[in-house]
Amino acid sequence: MVTLNDIAVRLGISKSTVSKGLSNASDVSEELRKKIIETAAEMGYSGRRTQKRLCILVENMGYKEPNQFGYELISGFVQRAKLEGWTVDVVPLDKERQKDMTYSDFMTQGGYQGAFLLGFSLLDPWMEEFKTAQIPTVLYDNYIKENPFIASVGCDNDGGLKAAVKHLYGLGHRRIGLLSGPLDSYIVKERYNAYLGALEECGLPVDEDLIGLGYFVAESTRQNLPKLIEKGATAILCADDSRAVAAYTECHDRSLRIPGDVSIVGFDDLPIAAYMNPALTTVRQDRPALGKCGYYALQCLLSGMDIHSIVLRAPLVVRGSTGPAAVRPEKSAEEASHGGGK
Amino acid sequence: MVTLNDIAVRLGISKSTVSKGLSNASDVSEELRKKIIETAAEMGYSGRRTQKRLCILVENMGYKEPNQFGYELISGFVQRAKLEGWTVDVVPLDKERQKDMTYSDFMTQGGYQGAFLLGFSLLDPWMEEFKTAQIPTVLYDNYIKENPFIASVGCDNDGGLKAAVKHLYGLGHRRIGLLSGPLDSYIVKERYNAYLGALEECGLPVDEDLIGLGYFVAESTRQNLPKLIEKGATAILCADDSRAVAAYTECHDRSLRIPGDVSIVGFDDLPIAAYMNPALTTVRQDRPALGKCGYYALQCLLSGMDIHSIVLRAPLVVRGSTGPAAVRPEKSAEEASHGGGK
């Protein structure tokens, strides 16, 4: 079977240039591209293109177990793609691999016609390349503004978080805290801004003492949750259900009753949410539907439709972890800052 | 054939209550609904439901000629819907008809399972009902925030208008006018705000003298275009291509050269845009793709997927109607307000 390397040797150019020429990259001259394509055809190169291959690239996200966020997202996508004859590879990724190889090269060498990308952060090496890459690509919860080859799918984070804050406000909560990851991903930033916007809509002031950010879920929840309670939070929004699970553990260790002492709200509605004790009030992301829409968006790009984004609703699912705001004695700022504990 | 009326007579209730009971409207008691459904089944009522019917409701938009905005929007939708066995009725609508009948009754009586709505304005009588209607409905260029039965499709108006303003800015234009309809529709408002945002991004001040709004295209263009030119506009953004056509006429009547004296940009990329003289620089709305995405969104709603919106890109198509900014002698505000002509 003829390889990229065979074509490279014949033309006296690098394998990566051959790959670029075949993938329509913009930094290969029209003349050279023509030569590469003609030579490839002459030598009988078929690539793996003929196989109808897509890939799902996953980073910063569990997906192997049904209880992990990526599981149904992937199964929704794959289910639709298989119906239309696609082979789909699921490839875990990390920053190192992105440094070793460009996105275009990765895609060309894998023979992939398009990709669905999950869990990328704004700091990822390939994010820069996405601004110009000419490969049909759909991002979950990330947006690339001006590249027509890239589309996005995600949930209405704004609507979901606003519904959560309004629900808490309706229960009498006026000190609503936030536990979240650091602001280095598009989605975390968006939820953070939605939290600020929702407070504003309810006429509540933003208090930085009620916000706890940290990358490592268990560790940062352990550090931040007691601080938020100290500062008078009667309810805590968790930017994802894993943080809500960690918050339950911390509350249990401190004998704080949910929702008697503190109401907890999650985000995602992972399968476990309904089985927690008490069952978790959370914002639902319909992951199978997100996967299906991801495939539809990719199909649009592959057929030349200029799709920009698909957004699903993110409804609030009210369960047992939220209740009327606890009445606590008012503390002076000074007292609180000296950690006069509960 | 058994009709709604036959069931109504048998049960001694109104036809509209029967219709509500069969369409799961929320204002019919569970008990009554059950009775209606059982009676309908007993009498062999099949409705028109079994026929898989959808409808496209059109207001404020031409759609019968290939050169009108709605034509391809509808054909894109119908093409996809027919592939999956749907019958699609296209129904022109006006405010009077909306006052005569509720949306729910209209849909039930037509036997429609879902609808695609084009050209509705924020003042339309049914807009209020859309907040609570329990009928799968997709709106083109309108948004209903909290009803999970309603989804939206549209273009990235913001991105499109920003690209247009940046293009003009790059050609040296600093006085960029806007001709648009009145701000009583979601889409007109959005484009208006995008225009303001784009000026801001380019560091240009907003000057109300450079904005001309009016419902009737030809008339308001005749009134407003000369005013904008008076006030120093070297380029004019038209919120739709029909206004651009009217602007060409006005420029011709006033011996203003396009783009020598004034650059003109449209929005929509109607088929005629490429054949105007000079060919019109405009923001493209891919209407067949919008129609296809409208059908996809409706399909999602019909299958219980909580879709919120699908947005397509709106790329700028640069043609002959834009060029370097004309150099005009600066005028004092006073002089201009006295209409000291060109």
- B184-211 per-position pLDDT tens digit: 888 889 999 999 999 999 999 999 999 9
Q: Report ipTM for this prediction.
A: 0.78
Does residue A156 sit at the B interface (CB-CB below 8 Å)? yes
* pTM for the structure as a whole: 0.81
Q: Which of B145, B148, B312 sits opposite A306 (nearest CB)?
A: B312
A130 touches A139 (CB < 8 A): yes
Q: Which of A233-237, B124-128, B212-216 has the highest mean pLDDT?
A: A233-237
Looking at residue B46, what is its pLDDT? Answer: 67
Rounded CA separation B266/B172 (Å):
18
Residue B137 phi/psi, 5-degree rounding, is -140, 135
A308 to chain B: which residues are within 8 Å by CB?
155-156, 159, 311-313
> How many Cβ atoms from other residues are within 10 Å of residue A196's Cβ?
15
Question: Tell me: the pLDDT tens digits for A108-143?
Answer: 989 999 999 998 888 889 999 999 999 999 999 888
Does residue B145 sit at the A interface (CB-CB below 8 Å)? yes
Best of A310, A311, A312, A317 to disrupt the B interface (most B CBs within 10 Å) is: A310
> Residue for token digits 């209405």?
A156
Residue A139 per-residue DSSP state: E
Beta carbons of A300 and B308 less than 8 Å apart: no
B137 touches B106 (CB < 8 A): no
Question: Residue B15 in 3-state DSSP?
Answer: helix
CB contact residues (below 8 A), chain B span 290-309, against chain A: 292-293, 296, 300, 305-309
Question: Tell me: the pLDDT tens digits for B130-188?
Answer: 999 999 999 998 888 889 999 999 999 999 999 999 999 999 999 999 999 999 888 88
Q: Report, as an integer, the average pLDDT of B278-298.
A: 97
Q: Which residues of chain A have pLDDT under 50?
A: 336, 339-342
Looking at residue A339, what is its pLDDT? Answer: 44
Give how far Cα A66 sits from Cα of A38, A74, A341, B73, B186, Å.
47, 11, 39, 40, 41
What is the number of CB-based contacts under 8 A between chain A and chain B? Answer: 66
Q: What is the DSSP secondary-structure string of B91-160?
A: EE--HHHHHHS-HHHHHHHHT-SEEEEES--TT-THHHHHTT--S-EEEES---SS-TTEEEEEE-HHHH
Give how far Cα A63 sits from Cα of A68, A90, A112, B144, Å.
5, 10, 21, 33
Lowest-confidence range among A259-263, A329-333, B81-85, B88-92?
A329-333
Residue B290 to chain A, least CA–CA distance (Å): 9
B240 touches B212 (CB < 8 A): no
Question: Residue B285 in 3-state DSSP?
Answer: coil
Residue A136 to chain B, least CA–CA distance (Å): 14
Which pLDDT band, with edges at 50, 70 and 90, does B342 fall under? very low
Looking at residue B226, what is its pLDDT? Answer: 97
Question: Residue B316 in 3-state DSSP?
Answer: strand
